[in-house]
Structure 1
Amino acid sequence: MSRIYLPSQGDEDWRRLLADPVKHWREGYSAMCLAKSWENASGLPSEIARLIVSIGPSPELLVALPEHKVPLPGSRRGDSQNDLFALIRAGDETVSVTIEGKVDEPFDQPLGMWLANASAGKLERLAFICDLLRLTQPLPGNIRYQLLHRTASAVIEARRFKTDAAAMIVHSFSPTRRWFDDYAAFVALFGAPARPDQLVCVHSESTPRLYLGWASGEIPSRTQSLVVTS
């Protein structure tokens, strides 16, 4: 996998990185909403900045990498392909952030389904994630596996870039906050409450500190112009 990244010229550059650039690129769906929201922002979308400010003042986007892959052990398809990975500066703190975009699409499979007839590789991967996130098995079968490996990605990259904190944020464009209950069940694993548009620190004593958050955004207008970067 190449470690060379090129500057974006607009949301169409995000499209070519998708696993299925035709099926996954549709108006009102998460991939397009996320791309337009972040491109239009020329930095951090306001709903993301409002969460990060709880870590430090004046949040600043340093770099954002769409469809960023983070290697995980125990599977032939060994990468967690995150919708967006960002390094953010907030005051004196640097934060490694994975962003999971959502509109009406669910968080993929619940853990009980994902573990059905699980291979040794899957069991190895889950053990690695639980150890990394300081979670004790067995986990409830209704927990969405996608949230587990997206959060693990944030911690892995925080250690790689030596940041002060890691965060996994669901960037939701659903007006009804669809699937928030699944997110709340995941946050509860850490003994913490989940609230929309708040960042909660679930591991304050660890290095890096770990945060989870839900940011409510609006579906970008079809006619909204995009900021083009050079």
Structure 2
Amino acid sequence: MGRFFVPSEGAISWRDFLSNPEKQWKKGYSAFELADCWENASNLPNCVDKVFKKSKLTLFNDVEVLYGFPEYKVALPGGNASSQNDLYVLAKASNELLTIMVEGKVSEPFGETVESWLGDNPSDGKRKRLEYLLKLLGLDEDSVKNIRYQLLHRAASALLEARKVNANNSLMLVHSFSETAKWFEDFTEFVKLFHLSPKQDEIVGPIKLNGINLYFGWVTEVFIK
């Protein structure tokens, strides 16, 4: 991916970055809903803004979006596939830089578990990538076997981008459009690895990893059918 970005012409501009636009760009699907919600916000979407402003974590009480990058790829060692984040937001929070990796969800899961992703005979590339993610996140392999692999590299993306811009704070944020908050349990099991207790519409943390504060959040917004 090139290092140059151009201003969007509205939510439809996000469509071009999808791997399968014909399948993914439909009302009621996360890619469409996320683009529509964030593009129509003057700063943060209302549901995100409310969660931030009511947080007891004062860092989030005054957040200003600086730049947003849809379908943002973060390179990881061990193979050519990057972590393709639905939305990367570089923000200013209480006069500090904050990197936010946003994962949009409606009904689609977080993908396969780490154990399933590895398989019975994992390649050297997969082993190298997992070892890198585990070291970055301060986790061990036995604890993540039943965790959704996508959650690991999304959290890692938030940390890596914070390191790149010398930000002290990062946030992995799930923006859910599911009426039943589908897959929240998977998110919970992941965040619990860091001895945190996540709740819907709340930010939890931080944990300090490699000198960077990492927070986790889940925001639910039901789209209008």
Identify the TM-score tier after normalising by the shorter chain: over 0.9
1:132-211 map, 5 Å: 132-204=136-208, 206-211=210-215
Q: CA deviation at 1:94?
A: 1.5
Root-mean-square deviation (CA, aligned residues, Å) is: 1.5
Q: What TM-score do the two structures reach when normalised by structure 2?
A: 0.93
Q: CA deviation at 1:205?
A: 7.0
Percent sequence identity is 43
Secondary structure of the residue that 1:153 maps to in structure 2? helix
Aligned pair 1:109/2:102, yes or no? no
Q: CA deviation at 1:193?
A: 0.6
Letter in 1 for 2:222: E
> Deviation string for 1:174-194 (max 9, x for gaps)?
011000000000001111111
Q: What TM-score do the two structures reach when normalised by structure 1?
A: 0.91
Q: CA deviation at 1:206?
A: 5.0
> Deviation string for 1:140-192 (max 9, x for gaps)?
43200001000000000000011120110000000110000000000011111
1:24-103 map, 5 Å: 24-53=24-53, 54=57, 55-77=59-81, 79-103=82-106
Aligned pair 1:120/2:124, yes or no? yes
Listed as ranges, the gaps of 5+ residues in structure 2 are: none
Using CA pairs under 8 Å that are at least 6 residues apart, name the structure with larger relative contact order, 1 or 2. 1
Letter in 2 for 1:113: S
Higher helix share: 2
